[in-house]
Amino acid sequence: MAKITKEEILEACVQGIERSFNEYLEWSYDEWIWNAPEYLLTVNIAKELWKIKNDAKFITLEDNVRKTLKNADAKIKGSFKVGGER
């Protein structure tokens, strides 16, 4: 199975931001995105990430960072250990 590329992630983020901007502009009668709640961006970015064709993904909102890194089997430089203390 192909991995999701950085370009796909960046494109999904940009699309989510653009969608948020357009929605908030319409809803608020011309307020700019910096006045919108952060959660609007979070949800729209998540929706765009979900559209990426790859069966090996799952999306959560505001999940625990340590848990996310552990699930991703992330390799971290330095003395930090996922699931442990410094």
Tokens of 20: 């948020």
pLDDT at 86: 47
pLDDT of residue 35: 92
pLDDT, tens digit only, all 86 positions of the chain: 678 999 999 999 999 999 999 999 999 999 999 999 999 999 999 999 999 998 888 888 888 888 888 888 887 766 655 555 54
Torsion on CA atoms 2, 44, 19, 25, rounded to nearest 10: -170
- CA-closest candidate to residue 22, choices 14, 49, 86: 14
Domain boundaries, the chain: 6-59
